[in-house]
Amino acid sequence: MSRKPAGGHRRQRLIVVSNRAPVEVERTDAGLDTRRTVGGLATALDDVLRDRGGLWIAWAGADAPDVLRPATTGLGYPIRSARLRPEDVDNFYGGFANQVLWPLCHIFPERCRFEEAFWPAYRDANGLFANLVAAEASPGDLVWVNDFHLSLVPAALRALDLGVRIGMFWHIPFPPPAVFGVCPWRAELLAGLLGGDLVAFQTEADVRNFLACVRDFLGLVVDEHLPRVRFGGRDVLVGDLPVGVDVARFRREAASAPAMAEAQTLRATLGTERVLLAVDRLDYTKGIIERLLGFERFLESSREWQGRVSLVQITAPSRFRIPQYRAMKQTIDETVGRITGRFTAHGRSPLVYLYNAFDHEHLAAYYRAADVALVTPLRDGMNLVAKEYVASQAGGDGVLVLSEFAGAACELREAVLVNPYEPDGIARQIRAALELPADERRERMAALLQRVTTRDVHWWTTAFLMLLSGHPDGPHAPTPVTP
Protein backbone atom coordinates (compact mmCIF):
# COMPACT_ATOMS: atom_id res chain seq x y z
CA MET A 1 0.00 0.00 0.00
CA SER A 2 3.00 2.27 -0.46
CA ARG A 3 2.16 5.63 -2.05
CA LYS A 4 5.36 6.84 -3.64
CA PRO A 5 4.81 10.04 -5.61
CA ALA A 6 4.97 9.69 -9.38
CA GLY A 7 6.95 12.04 -11.59
CA GLY A 8 8.64 13.77 -8.68
CA HIS A 9 5.35 15.06 -7.23
CA ARG A 10 5.70 15.77 -3.52
CA ARG A 11 2.77 14.55 -1.43
CA GLN A 12 2.57 15.26 2.29
CA ARG A 13 0.64 12.87 4.52
CA LEU A 14 0.56 12.00 8.19
CA ILE A 15 1.85 8.61 9.34
CA VAL A 16 1.01 7.85 12.95
CA VAL A 17 3.14 5.18 14.63
CA SER A 18 2.29 3.61 17.99
CA ASN A 19 2.55 0.28 19.71
CA ARG A 20 -1.20 -0.05 20.04
CA ALA A 21 -3.65 0.42 17.18
CA PRO A 22 -7.01 2.19 17.54
CA VAL A 23 -8.60 -1.22 16.88
CA GLU A 24 -7.96 -4.75 18.11
CA VAL A 25 -8.48 -7.86 16.00
CA GLU A 26 -9.38 -11.18 17.57
CA ARG A 27 -10.23 -14.50 15.94
CA THR A 28 -13.59 -15.95 16.99
CA ASP A 29 -15.67 -18.90 15.85
CA ALA A 30 -17.44 -16.54 13.47
CA GLY A 31 -14.19 -15.19 11.98
CA LEU A 32 -12.17 -12.06 12.72
CA ASP A 33 -13.73 -9.62 15.17
CA THR A 34 -12.58 -5.99 14.99
CA ARG A 35 -13.37 -3.61 17.83
CA ARG A 36 -12.29 -0.10 18.75
CA THR A 37 -9.82 0.24 21.61
CA VAL A 38 -10.52 2.42 24.62
CA GLY A 39 -7.73 4.89 25.29
CA GLY A 40 -6.70 8.52 25.16
CA LEU A 41 -4.19 8.19 22.31
CA ALA A 42 -6.58 6.45 19.92
CA THR A 43 -9.23 9.06 20.53
CA ALA A 44 -6.85 12.01 20.32
CA LEU A 45 -5.28 11.09 16.99
CA ASP A 46 -8.33 9.65 15.27
CA ASP A 47 -9.83 12.96 14.16
CA VAL A 48 -6.60 14.54 12.95
CA LEU A 49 -5.73 11.48 10.87
CA ARG A 50 -9.20 11.46 9.32
CA ASP A 51 -8.94 15.15 8.44
CA ARG A 52 -5.36 15.15 7.20
CA GLY A 53 -5.18 11.77 5.46
CA GLY A 54 -2.56 9.09 5.85
CA LEU A 55 -2.31 5.85 7.78
CA TRP A 56 -1.63 4.36 11.20
CA ILE A 57 1.13 1.81 11.82
CA ALA A 58 0.69 -0.29 14.96
CA TRP A 59 0.23 -3.73 16.44
CA ALA A 60 -3.45 -4.71 16.26
CA GLY A 61 -3.23 -8.23 17.65
CA ALA A 62 -1.76 -11.56 16.61
CA ASP A 63 -4.66 -12.30 14.24
CA ALA A 64 -4.68 -8.97 12.42
CA PRO A 65 -4.03 -9.01 8.66
CA ASP A 66 -1.19 -6.96 7.22
CA VAL A 67 -3.57 -4.14 6.29
CA LEU A 68 -6.84 -3.20 7.96
CA ARG A 69 -8.97 -1.28 5.49
CA PRO A 70 -11.49 1.43 6.43
CA ALA A 71 -14.31 -0.80 5.19
CA THR A 72 -13.35 -3.30 7.91
CA THR A 73 -12.62 -0.94 10.80
CA GLY A 74 -15.05 1.90 10.15
CA LEU A 75 -12.17 4.35 10.44
CA GLY A 76 -11.30 6.92 7.83
CA TYR A 77 -7.80 5.60 7.17
CA PRO A 78 -5.99 2.28 6.77
CA ILE A 79 -3.96 0.59 9.50
CA ARG A 80 -0.70 -1.18 8.67
CA SER A 81 -0.27 -4.01 11.17
CA ALA A 82 3.05 -4.76 12.83
CA ARG A 83 3.58 -8.52 12.88
CA LEU A 84 4.85 -9.39 16.34
CA ARG A 85 5.26 -12.97 17.50
CA PRO A 86 3.99 -13.91 20.98
CA GLU A 87 7.56 -14.00 22.32
CA ASP A 88 8.14 -10.53 20.83
CA VAL A 89 5.09 -9.20 22.63
CA ASP A 90 6.21 -10.80 25.89
CA ASN A 91 9.77 -9.45 25.80
CA PHE A 92 9.31 -6.15 23.95
CA TYR A 93 5.95 -4.97 25.32
CA GLY A 94 5.45 -6.97 28.48
CA GLY A 95 9.20 -6.98 29.15
CA PHE A 96 11.30 -3.94 28.30
CA ALA A 97 8.47 -1.45 27.81
CA ASN A 98 6.41 -2.38 30.86
CA GLN A 99 8.96 -3.84 33.26
CA VAL A 100 11.87 -1.48 32.54
CA LEU A 101 10.75 1.83 31.03
CA TRP A 102 7.32 2.08 32.63
CA PRO A 103 8.46 1.71 36.27
CA LEU A 104 11.65 3.68 35.61
CA CYS A 105 9.85 6.69 34.16
CA HIS A 106 7.21 6.66 36.89
CA ILE A 107 10.07 6.62 39.43
CA PHE A 108 9.62 3.08 40.69
CA PRO A 109 13.16 1.82 39.88
CA GLU A 110 12.80 -0.98 42.43
CA ARG A 111 10.15 -2.52 40.14
CA CYS A 112 12.49 -2.67 37.11
CA ARG A 113 13.49 -6.10 35.80
CA PHE A 114 16.54 -6.09 33.54
CA GLU A 115 16.08 -9.49 31.89
CA GLU A 116 18.61 -10.52 29.24
CA ALA A 117 15.95 -11.08 26.55
CA PHE A 118 14.19 -7.75 27.02
CA TRP A 119 16.59 -5.30 25.32
CA PRO A 120 17.20 -7.30 22.09
CA ALA A 121 13.43 -7.77 21.71
CA TYR A 122 12.83 -4.05 22.23
CA ARG A 123 15.55 -3.09 19.74
CA ASP A 124 14.29 -5.55 17.12
CA ALA A 125 10.65 -4.51 17.51
CA ASN A 126 11.61 -0.86 17.05
CA GLY A 127 13.50 -1.84 13.91
CA LEU A 128 10.40 -3.61 12.62
CA PHE A 129 8.25 -0.52 13.14
CA ALA A 130 10.85 1.67 11.41
CA ASN A 131 10.93 -0.65 8.41
CA LEU A 132 7.15 -0.53 8.13
CA VAL A 133 7.31 3.26 8.05
CA ALA A 134 10.02 3.13 5.40
CA ALA A 135 7.84 0.90 3.20
CA GLU A 136 4.98 3.40 3.35
CA ALA A 137 6.58 6.84 3.56
CA SER A 138 7.09 9.35 0.78
CA PRO A 139 9.42 12.37 0.90
CA GLY A 140 7.74 15.23 2.72
CA ASP A 141 5.46 13.05 4.84
CA LEU A 142 5.08 13.79 8.55
CA VAL A 143 5.79 10.83 10.82
CA TRP A 144 4.34 11.06 14.32
CA VAL A 145 5.89 8.43 16.64
CA ASN A 146 4.23 7.88 19.98
CA ASP A 147 5.54 6.94 23.36
CA PHE A 148 8.12 4.94 25.24
CA HIS A 149 7.52 1.69 23.39
CA LEU A 150 9.15 3.13 20.26
CA SER A 151 11.95 5.42 21.43
CA LEU A 152 14.48 3.93 18.97
CA VAL A 153 12.27 4.48 15.91
CA PRO A 154 13.20 8.16 15.27
CA ALA A 155 16.92 7.38 14.99
CA ALA A 156 16.23 4.29 12.87
CA LEU A 157 14.17 6.41 10.45
CA ARG A 158 16.85 9.12 10.39
CA ALA A 159 19.44 6.53 9.35
CA LEU A 160 17.24 5.49 6.41
CA ASP A 161 17.24 9.07 5.03
CA LEU A 162 13.60 8.98 3.91
CA GLY A 163 13.15 12.72 3.47
CA VAL A 164 10.38 12.84 6.08
CA ARG A 165 9.96 14.96 9.16
CA ILE A 166 9.96 12.91 12.35
CA GLY A 167 8.23 13.84 15.57
CA MET A 168 8.17 11.92 18.85
CA PHE A 169 5.64 12.50 21.61
CA TRP A 170 6.55 10.97 24.98
CA HIS A 171 3.25 10.51 26.83
CA ILE A 172 4.49 9.30 30.23
CA PRO A 173 6.69 11.19 32.74
CA PHE A 174 10.37 11.58 31.95
CA PRO A 175 12.53 11.02 35.06
CA PRO A 176 15.59 12.97 36.26
CA PRO A 177 19.12 11.68 35.58
CA ALA A 178 19.41 10.08 39.02
CA VAL A 179 16.57 7.72 38.05
CA PHE A 180 16.95 7.41 34.28
CA GLY A 181 20.63 6.65 34.74
CA VAL A 182 19.70 3.31 36.31
CA CYS A 183 18.92 1.99 32.83
CA PRO A 184 21.96 0.30 31.22
CA TRP A 185 20.76 1.46 27.76
CA ARG A 186 20.20 5.09 28.71
CA ALA A 187 22.49 6.46 25.98
CA GLU A 188 20.88 4.35 23.24
CA LEU A 189 17.39 5.45 24.29
CA LEU A 190 18.32 9.14 24.34
CA ALA A 191 20.05 8.93 20.97
CA GLY A 192 17.01 7.14 19.59
CA LEU A 193 14.71 9.96 20.62
CA LEU A 194 17.05 12.60 19.23
CA GLY A 195 16.72 11.05 15.79
CA GLY A 196 13.56 13.11 15.41
CA ASP A 197 13.10 16.72 14.38
CA LEU A 198 10.83 17.27 17.37
CA VAL A 199 10.65 15.60 20.80
CA ALA A 200 7.67 16.71 22.89
CA PHE A 201 6.59 15.96 26.45
CA GLN A 202 3.58 16.60 28.68
CA THR A 203 5.08 19.11 31.11
CA GLU A 204 7.94 21.55 31.52
CA ALA A 205 9.36 19.34 34.28
CA ASP A 206 9.59 16.44 31.81
CA VAL A 207 11.48 18.68 29.39
CA ARG A 208 13.91 19.75 32.11
CA ASN A 209 14.55 16.14 33.08
CA PHE A 210 15.10 15.07 29.48
CA LEU A 211 17.55 17.91 28.80
CA ALA A 212 19.43 17.11 31.99
CA CYS A 213 19.76 13.47 30.89
CA VAL A 214 20.97 14.55 27.45
CA ARG A 215 23.65 16.72 29.05
CA ASP A 216 24.70 14.13 31.63
CA PHE A 217 24.70 10.96 29.53
CA LEU A 218 25.41 12.19 25.98
CA GLY A 219 27.48 15.27 26.79
CA LEU A 220 25.52 17.42 24.34
CA VAL A 221 25.04 21.17 24.31
CA VAL A 222 21.48 22.25 25.10
CA ASP A 223 19.96 25.58 24.13
CA GLU A 224 17.39 26.18 26.85
CA HIS A 225 15.91 29.31 25.27
CA LEU A 226 13.68 27.47 22.79
CA PRO A 227 14.85 24.77 23.80
CA ARG A 228 16.91 22.78 21.27
CA VAL A 229 19.53 20.06 21.31
CA ARG A 230 22.36 20.01 18.79
CA PHE A 231 22.79 16.38 17.72
CA GLY A 232 24.30 14.81 14.60
CA GLY A 233 24.71 18.16 12.89
CA ARG A 234 21.01 18.97 13.37
CA ASP A 235 18.92 21.01 15.78
CA VAL A 236 16.27 18.91 17.54
CA LEU A 237 13.39 20.97 18.90
CA VAL A 238 12.19 20.00 22.40
CA GLY A 239 8.95 21.23 23.94
CA ASP A 240 6.09 20.63 26.35
CA LEU A 241 2.64 20.17 24.82
CA PRO A 242 0.11 18.82 27.33
CA VAL A 243 -2.40 16.44 25.78
CA GLY A 244 -6.00 17.61 25.81
CA VAL A 245 -9.40 15.95 25.43
CA ASP A 246 -12.28 16.44 23.04
CA VAL A 247 -14.15 18.87 25.26
CA ALA A 248 -17.04 19.42 22.87
CA ARG A 249 -17.66 15.69 22.59
CA PHE A 250 -17.69 15.09 26.34
CA ARG A 251 -19.93 18.10 26.93
CA ARG A 252 -22.32 16.81 24.30
CA GLU A 253 -22.33 13.23 25.57
CA ALA A 254 -22.70 14.24 29.23
CA ALA A 255 -25.67 16.47 28.37
CA SER A 256 -27.40 13.87 26.21
CA ALA A 257 -30.74 12.40 27.29
CA PRO A 258 -29.34 8.84 27.66
CA ALA A 259 -26.44 10.03 29.82
CA MET A 260 -28.69 12.15 32.02
CA ALA A 261 -31.09 9.26 32.48
CA GLU A 262 -28.27 6.84 33.29
CA ALA A 263 -26.79 9.33 35.75
CA GLN A 264 -30.11 9.68 37.54
CA THR A 265 -30.53 5.90 37.68
CA LEU A 266 -27.02 5.51 39.09
CA ARG A 267 -27.64 8.05 41.85
CA ALA A 268 -30.96 6.49 42.70
CA THR A 269 -29.38 3.03 42.87
CA LEU A 270 -26.58 4.23 45.13
CA GLY A 271 -29.08 6.07 47.29
CA THR A 272 -26.60 8.48 48.89
CA GLU A 273 -26.46 12.27 49.04
CA ARG A 274 -23.04 12.51 47.42
CA VAL A 275 -21.28 10.35 44.83
CA LEU A 276 -17.51 10.05 44.50
CA LEU A 277 -16.00 8.60 41.31
CA ALA A 278 -12.60 7.18 40.40
CA VAL A 279 -11.70 5.81 36.96
CA ASP A 280 -8.38 4.07 36.35
CA ARG A 281 -6.59 1.41 34.40
CA LEU A 282 -5.27 -1.41 36.58
CA ASP A 283 -1.75 -0.17 37.33
CA TYR A 284 0.33 0.45 40.43
CA THR A 285 1.06 4.02 39.29
CA LYS A 286 -2.63 4.95 39.52
CA GLY A 287 -2.69 4.83 43.31
CA ILE A 288 -5.86 2.73 43.51
CA ILE A 289 -4.89 0.94 46.73
CA GLU A 290 -3.69 4.18 48.33
CA ARG A 291 -6.95 5.89 47.34
CA LEU A 292 -9.04 3.11 48.84
CA LEU A 293 -7.04 3.34 52.07
CA GLY A 294 -7.62 7.10 52.09
CA PHE A 295 -11.36 6.58 51.56
CA GLU A 296 -11.38 4.06 54.39
CA ARG A 297 -9.65 6.60 56.62
CA PHE A 298 -12.25 9.20 55.59
CA LEU A 299 -15.08 6.90 56.65
CA GLU A 300 -13.32 6.21 59.95
CA SER A 301 -12.73 9.87 60.76
CA SER A 302 -15.95 11.37 59.37
CA ARG A 303 -18.70 9.36 60.98
CA GLU A 304 -21.27 12.02 60.09
CA TRP A 305 -20.72 11.18 56.40
CA GLN A 306 -21.24 7.45 56.82
CA GLY A 307 -24.35 6.40 54.90
CA ARG A 308 -24.41 9.74 53.05
CA VAL A 309 -21.59 9.19 50.55
CA SER A 310 -20.57 6.41 48.19
CA LEU A 311 -17.49 5.84 46.03
CA VAL A 312 -17.71 4.22 42.61
CA GLN A 313 -14.30 2.81 41.65
CA ILE A 314 -14.06 1.82 37.97
CA THR A 315 -10.94 -0.16 37.12
CA ALA A 316 -10.20 -1.21 33.54
CA PRO A 317 -8.27 -4.50 33.18
CA SER A 318 -4.68 -4.10 32.01
CA ARG A 319 -1.49 -6.14 31.50
CA PHE A 320 -2.82 -9.08 33.47
CA ARG A 321 -0.11 -11.36 32.08
CA ILE A 322 2.44 -9.57 34.30
CA PRO A 323 2.51 -11.24 37.78
CA GLN A 324 2.75 -8.00 39.77
CA TYR A 325 -0.52 -6.79 38.23
CA ARG A 326 -2.32 -9.97 39.23
CA ALA A 327 -1.02 -9.55 42.78
CA MET A 328 -2.16 -5.91 42.81
CA LYS A 329 -5.66 -6.86 41.71
CA GLN A 330 -5.86 -9.36 44.55
CA THR A 331 -4.86 -6.66 47.04
CA ILE A 332 -7.47 -4.30 45.60
CA ASP A 333 -10.14 -7.01 45.86
CA GLU A 334 -9.21 -7.67 49.49
CA THR A 335 -9.23 -3.96 50.34
CA VAL A 336 -12.64 -3.46 48.70
CA GLY A 337 -13.98 -6.43 50.62
CA ARG A 338 -12.70 -5.10 53.93
CA ILE A 339 -14.16 -1.61 53.40
CA THR A 340 -17.55 -2.88 52.32
CA GLY A 341 -17.59 -5.34 55.19
CA ARG A 342 -16.75 -2.65 57.75
CA PHE A 343 -19.02 0.14 56.57
CA THR A 344 -22.02 -1.42 54.82
CA ALA A 345 -25.13 -0.62 56.84
CA HIS A 346 -28.82 -1.24 56.26
CA GLY A 347 -27.97 -3.13 53.07
CA ARG A 348 -26.21 -0.12 51.53
CA SER A 349 -22.50 -0.20 50.68
CA PRO A 350 -20.31 2.93 50.63
CA LEU A 351 -18.18 1.43 47.85
CA VAL A 352 -19.03 0.04 44.42
CA TYR A 353 -16.13 -1.62 42.59
CA LEU A 354 -16.49 -2.18 38.84
CA TYR A 355 -13.70 -4.15 37.16
CA ASN A 356 -14.50 -3.31 33.55
CA ALA A 357 -13.61 -0.95 30.71
CA PHE A 358 -16.28 1.63 29.83
CA ASP A 359 -16.74 3.46 26.53
CA HIS A 360 -17.02 7.24 26.42
CA GLU A 361 -20.81 7.23 26.34
CA HIS A 362 -21.08 5.29 29.61
CA LEU A 363 -18.24 7.20 31.23
CA ALA A 364 -19.99 10.47 30.42
CA ALA A 365 -22.97 9.32 32.49
CA TYR A 366 -20.76 8.45 35.45
CA TYR A 367 -18.92 11.76 35.15
CA ARG A 368 -22.25 13.57 35.12
CA ALA A 369 -23.48 11.68 38.18
CA ALA A 370 -20.37 12.31 40.29
CA ASP A 371 -20.23 15.17 42.77
CA VAL A 372 -16.49 14.57 43.27
CA ALA A 373 -13.89 12.92 41.03
CA LEU A 374 -10.88 11.36 42.77
CA VAL A 375 -7.93 11.39 40.35
CA THR A 376 -5.03 10.47 42.61
CA PRO A 377 -2.25 8.65 40.73
CA LEU A 378 1.10 8.21 42.44
CA ARG A 379 2.60 9.60 39.23
CA ASP A 380 1.13 10.21 35.79
CA GLY A 381 2.25 11.82 32.57
CA MET A 382 -1.01 13.75 32.27
CA ASN A 383 -4.18 11.81 33.24
CA LEU A 384 -7.00 12.54 30.85
CA VAL A 385 -9.68 11.33 33.28
CA ALA A 386 -9.24 14.61 35.15
CA LYS A 387 -9.86 16.61 31.98
CA GLU A 388 -12.72 14.38 30.84
CA TYR A 389 -14.49 14.89 34.16
CA VAL A 390 -14.12 18.66 33.91
CA ALA A 391 -15.37 18.66 30.31
CA SER A 392 -18.44 16.70 31.39
CA GLN A 393 -19.24 19.19 34.16
CA ALA A 394 -20.15 22.12 31.88
CA GLY A 395 -22.56 24.29 33.85
CA GLY A 396 -22.15 22.03 36.86
CA ASP A 397 -20.46 22.29 40.22
CA GLY A 398 -18.52 19.06 40.57
CA VAL A 399 -15.20 19.03 42.42
CA LEU A 400 -11.95 17.56 41.13
CA VAL A 401 -9.57 16.10 43.72
CA LEU A 402 -6.27 15.75 41.89
CA SER A 403 -2.88 14.28 42.73
CA GLU A 404 0.02 16.70 42.91
CA PHE A 405 2.01 14.16 40.89
CA ALA A 406 -0.27 14.03 37.86
CA GLY A 407 0.87 16.06 34.87
CA ALA A 408 -2.62 17.59 34.77
CA ALA A 409 -1.91 19.33 38.09
CA CYS A 410 0.38 21.75 36.24
CA GLU A 411 -2.67 23.11 34.39
CA LEU A 412 -5.67 22.35 36.60
CA ARG A 413 -4.66 24.54 39.50
CA GLU A 414 -8.22 25.11 40.74
CA ALA A 415 -8.57 21.44 41.63
CA VAL A 416 -8.32 20.28 45.23
CA LEU A 417 -4.74 19.00 45.21
CA VAL A 418 -3.64 16.05 47.32
CA ASN A 419 -0.56 13.99 48.12
CA PRO A 420 -1.71 10.47 47.12
CA TYR A 421 0.84 8.78 49.38
CA GLU A 422 -0.82 10.12 52.53
CA PRO A 423 -4.09 8.35 53.52
CA ASP A 424 -4.93 11.02 56.10
CA GLY A 425 -4.35 13.69 53.45
CA ILE A 426 -6.70 11.94 51.03
CA ALA A 427 -9.30 11.70 53.79
CA ARG A 428 -8.96 15.43 54.56
CA GLN A 429 -9.28 16.46 50.92
CA ILE A 430 -12.30 14.23 50.34
CA ARG A 431 -13.97 15.96 53.27
CA ALA A 432 -12.86 19.38 52.00
CA ALA A 433 -14.29 18.64 48.54
CA LEU A 434 -17.61 17.51 49.98
CA GLU A 435 -17.89 20.60 52.19
CA LEU A 436 -16.95 23.27 49.64
CA PRO A 437 -19.69 25.92 49.36
CA ALA A 438 -21.74 25.77 46.16
CA ASP A 439 -20.51 29.13 44.84
CA GLU A 440 -16.86 28.09 45.31
CA ARG A 441 -17.52 24.75 43.57
CA ARG A 442 -19.01 26.55 40.56
CA GLU A 443 -16.20 29.11 40.46
CA ARG A 444 -13.49 26.45 40.55
CA MET A 445 -15.19 24.29 37.92
CA ALA A 446 -15.73 27.24 35.57
CA ALA A 447 -12.03 28.06 35.74
CA LEU A 448 -11.07 24.43 35.14
CA LEU A 449 -13.45 24.18 32.19
CA GLN A 450 -11.92 27.28 30.64
CA ARG A 451 -8.46 25.71 30.89
CA VAL A 452 -9.37 22.36 29.34
CA THR A 453 -11.36 24.11 26.60
CA THR A 454 -8.48 26.40 25.66
CA ARG A 455 -6.03 23.51 25.42
CA ASP A 456 -8.24 20.73 24.11
CA VAL A 457 -7.21 17.81 21.90
CA HIS A 458 -7.48 19.92 18.76
CA TRP A 459 -5.07 22.49 20.22
CA TRP A 460 -2.66 19.65 21.03
CA THR A 461 -2.65 18.04 17.60
CA THR A 462 -2.47 21.40 15.84
CA ALA A 463 0.42 22.55 18.02
CA PHE A 464 2.39 19.33 17.54
CA LEU A 465 1.92 19.27 13.76
CA MET A 466 2.78 22.95 13.44
CA LEU A 467 6.08 22.41 15.23
CA LEU A 468 6.75 19.19 13.32
CA SER A 469 6.11 20.98 10.03
CA GLY A 470 8.92 23.39 10.84
CA HIS A 471 7.16 26.38 12.40
CA PRO A 472 8.86 26.67 15.82
CA ASP A 473 8.06 30.38 16.14
CA GLY A 474 4.33 30.00 15.58
CA PRO A 475 1.59 30.63 18.16
CA HIS A 476 2.03 27.17 19.66
CA ALA A 477 5.79 27.44 20.19
CA PRO A 478 7.09 25.85 23.40
CA THR A 479 8.13 28.17 26.18
CA PRO A 480 11.71 28.48 27.39
CA VAL A 481 12.65 26.04 30.14
CA THR A 482 13.19 27.44 33.61
CA PRO A 483 16.66 26.35 34.82
Active site residues: 171, 380
Q: Which residues contact 144 (CB under 8 A, 6 or more apart)?
A: 14, 15, 16, 17, 45, 167, 169, 464, 465, 468
Neighbours of 229 (CB within 10 A): 24
Find out whether the peptide bond into 177 is cis, omega within 30 degrees of 0.
Answer: no
Q: Which residues contact 440 (CB under 8 A, 6 or more apart)?
A: none
Q: Which residues of 407-430 are buried (b: 16+ CB within 10 A; e: fewer)?
A: bbbbbbebbbbbbbeebebbbbbb
Neighbours of 110 (CB within 10 A): 7
Please state, in angstroms and rounded to a whole number, the distance separating the CA atoms of residues 259 and 313: 18
Burial class of residue 289, CB neighbours in 10 A (0-12, 13-18, 19+): middle
**Helices and strands (H and E) in the chain: how many:** 18, 18
Considering only CA atoms, which of 334, 263, 345, 245 is closest in space to residue 292? 334
Classify the C-alpha dihedral 92-97-101-107 as positive or negative.
negative
DSSP 453-474: HHT-HHHHHHHHHHHHTT-TTS
**Are 288 and 378 within 8 A, CB to CB?**
no
SS (H, E, C) 92-135: HHHHHHHHHHHHHHCCCHHHCCCCCCHHHHHHHHHHHHHHHHHH
**E-assigned strand segments in 282-339:** 309-316
Burial class of residue 294, CB neighbours in 10 A (0-12, 13-18, 19+): buried
Q: How far is CA 367 from CA 38, 83, 143, 275, 326, in A?
A: 16, 38, 35, 10, 28
Q: CA 273, 357, 298 angle in degrees (round to 5)?
A: 35
Considering only CA atoms, which of 235, 161, 148 is closest in space to residue 198? 235
Please state, in angstroms and rounded to a whole number, the distance separating the CA atoms of residues 130 and 54: 16
In this structure, what DSSP letter does residue 243 have?
-
